[in-house]
Structure 1
Amino acid sequence: METQMPNKRPVIVYGASGYTGRLICEFLREYRIPFIAAGRNQARLETAMEKVPGIETADYEIREVDHTVDALAGLFDGAQVVCNSVGPFELYGETVIQACLKAGTHYLDTTGEQHFVLPVKEKFSDDFQKAGLLLAPSTAYMHATLDIAVSFAAAEHGITTINAHCAAAGVPTYGSTQTVVRSARAQEFFLKDRKLQPWARGKKYEVQLPLWGEPQLSLPWTGTALPIWYEGHRQIENLKALVCFADNRSIMEQVFGLISMYDEQISDKSAEEQEAILTQLGESIQNGMPPRENRQVHRNFDRAVGFGPRRHVEYRVHSTASYQQTGLLQAFAANQLLADANMVSGFASPCQAFGHEAVLSALEDYGYAHLEKAI
């Protein structure tokens, strides 16, 4: 591994020792992009990098850094793109965004927290746009992949309303589990008449999907990033997104139970007490690193049904291995940014920044996804 100063490598993976961070590094190697594997613990970073497939041919270095704006900005200085996978993002994300703005780097992350994405858009989009920088949270499966189907539907003439559904497969990581338990206290939003409206709290949704005989128990899952991405869209007035785990009702019942538990047992406690309880609760569910996904087993189904006054359309994305997709999406986005191929700056989705056809092609090229028009 060659030793160089950090500003000689254009991409920084912050949180590289985690499950998703390692996958981002794996796909940056595929794109032959030099990177810095950064995090708060040198030993963990070194151990994690040893397990990245093909790492011996990657151009990278490891950097330990404190989680402060100044320390991170110092590391980011001279780089062009930061891929942030340190969650829960409601606890750690804003510090990284501030550091990116200070250092003048594009920002990508893997968040699934609508309650993080919404204030980020409000606080930072204008500053990133003025600086000519992209601010793209949720560059990840369950958001970007579903948005491919939504984007194709939204591009059809006369479509004003979209109902989207993500049927995911797999085992949540430690970070994802910590995010899920904290999301139990969050208000979730959908788009109605071009405005964000709250979902009814503590309500289950039974959705019939074409691949399963039984209705799938679904939840807003923090609301997803999609209603925020389409707020202000020239054509789409209404958008709802629901999530289920494909043919795995027990996971959804468990998540629904977390919402009830929070409302009944945790909501009246102090912020410090809540944080301790939620952390412990998340660790009781998942306190380790799950095995690598199997692309023959972990199959996802994302659907967008679009309606207009006189017609409707339906687009479906069949895909595999959601966390691997996330690693690929991050590396693809970084590669596009290094080539100045982004179409917008400021707050945007990957499909808005690079085009939904390009995002789809990135997944198709690696055999992760296939799009079909059902109607």
Structure 2
Amino acid sequence: MAKHPVVVYGASGYTGMLIMDWLIDQNIPFTAVARNAGRAKEMMAQRVVRLESANYELIEADHDVDSLIEAFSGAKVVCNTVGPFTNFGLVAVEAALKAGCHYLDTSGEQSHVRAVRDGYGELYRQAGLLVSPSIAYMYSFAEIAAELALEAPGVDALETATLARGPRGGGAGVSVGSTATIFDTYRQEACYLWEKKLVSHDKHASFNISSPDFMQPVFALPWSGTSLPVYFESDPRVRSCVSCVGFYDNNVMQTVHALGQKWEAEYANLPREQQDVVLKQIVDSTTPSMPPRERTSLHRTVDFAIGRGQLAAVRATVHGITPYIATGALQVAGAIKLIDGDTAKVGFASGSKAFGHRHLLGFLEQRGLARATISQL
């Protein structure tokens, strides 16, 4: 049973430890939950900043509903980082509900977001609890940009892009969990919102994004469709939403795209067990170990939303740094609100809908993680 108000599930993972950094920074006691407490203790000692001053406990729990109910009970908020979420996420969603906790996670997979909405949104609403997947750099920054664009009267159509850079331009600096998630999306349907309905992207869909932030177009992919079309599907302001993701280094994204085409040609019809083996080989060959902590001088991001209406046209841009560190900050910004009982929504809702996009942006701006600009087109 948790002794503290916030649970961080995935205590030995890259993102989980960054959430702990921000909880310690905000002087919030927390319970760290891991499947292997010994490994988690070792990793936390190496990588969590100011751990010696933290008020925390470490609990070991198996990844099943009953074990996690026991570990989560007593807390107010669960911050889940254990992915790929399409494989593991719903176990923690169910456990948090039964333990009486609000639920946040760092997922990027659209299929997981849809599964949470359809399977648990109403149950959480009836319990007076919030269930909010995808509170992370991907795709909270793009959603903040979209909400800023929607402040302009008459906007009803959105196009968003999430563009990130790391060492050597792109792939280096991606966590093991994120790599597994990226390649697992080959098995998932990716949708965009068109005239209030979710529509499947073509399996080979790609984009060439022209942005004033870059000299050359950026090659981008649907990236499972992102969470935004799902969150805006029930928003009366929005008729359409198309979202994509790119790295500054076009070669990285073109390699990912080529692997996706190879997947469709060679692996898509294999039994799931054989697909799992193929995906593990890809992940092991591309991201064999946990990357170092991000550097503010290298890890930069540009997220923008173009909002259009019959005559309205606006562009909102959020420039940022260190997306994983920013993810930890976003999770804690939400947890603070939930600890205080201050949420605009219960049931299924995005971070911007539950906590306010201006609150999340302000939390990031005050800590030097993001800045926003809005221009009329």
Matched, 1:87 2:74: no
Q: Deviation of residue 156 (structure 1)? A: 1.8
Match of 1:168 among 164, 167, 171: 164
Q: Distance in 2 between matches of 1:166 and 1:287?
A: 25
Deviation by residue 1:280-310 (Cα, 9 ceiling, x = unmatched): 2111110201111111111100111101111
Q: Deviation of residue 134 (structure 1)? A: 0.6
Matched, 1:255 2:289: no
Maintained 8 Å contact 2:205/2:222: no
Correspondence list, 1:1-375, <5 A: 6-50=1-45, 51-170=47-166, 171-246=173-248, 248-375=249-376
AA partner of residue 195 (structure 1): K
Q: Deviation of residue 60 (structure 1)? A: 0.5
Q: Deviation of residue 10 (structure 1)? A: 0.7
Maintained 8 Å contact 1:144/1:351: yes
Q: Distance in 1 between matches of 2:367 and 2:24?
A: 14
Q: Deviation of residue 233 (structure 1)? A: 0.8
Maintained 8 Å contact 1:178/1:283: no
Maintained 8 Å contact 2:2/2:31: no
AA partner of residue 270 (structure 2): K
Maintained 8 Å contact 1:185/1:259: no
Deviation by residue 1:234-293 (Cα, 9 ceiling, x = unmatched): 1110111111012x0121012101211211111121111111111121111102011111
Maintained 8 Å contact 1:191/1:238: yes
AA partner of residue 32 (structure 1): N
TM-score w.r.t. the length of structure 1 is 0.97
Moved over 4 A (4+): none
Maintained 8 Å contact 2:7/2:30: yes
**What is the alpha-carbon root mean square deviation over aligned residues?**
0.9
Q: Distance in 2 between matches of 1:261 and 1:43?
A: 39
Q: Distance in 1 between matches of 2:218 and 2:235?
A: 29
- Identity across the alignment (%): 37
Q: Distance in 1 between matches of 2:373 and 2:206?
A: 28
Q: May I ask how many residue pairs the two structures share in their alignment? A: 369
Q: Distance in 1 between matches of 2:161 and 2:361?
A: 17
Unaligned runs of at least 5 residues, structure 1: 1-5
Q: Deviation of residue 229 (structure 1)? A: 0.5
Maintained 8 Å contact 1:142/1:168: no
Maintained 8 Å contact 2:156/2:240: yes
Q: Distance in 2 between matches of 1:7 and 1:181?
A: 34
Maintained 8 Å contact 2:148/2:374: no
Q: Distance in 2 between matches of 1:180 and 1:144?
A: 17
Q: Deviation of residue 368 (structure 1)? A: 0.2
What secondary structure does 2:138 align onto?
Answer: coil
Q: Deviation of residue 339 (structure 1)? A: 0.6
Maintained 8 Å contact 1:136/1:347: yes
Q: Deviation of residue 203 (structure 1)? A: 2.4
What secondary structure does 2:147 align onto?
Answer: helix
Q: Deviation of residue 66 (structure 1)? A: 0.7
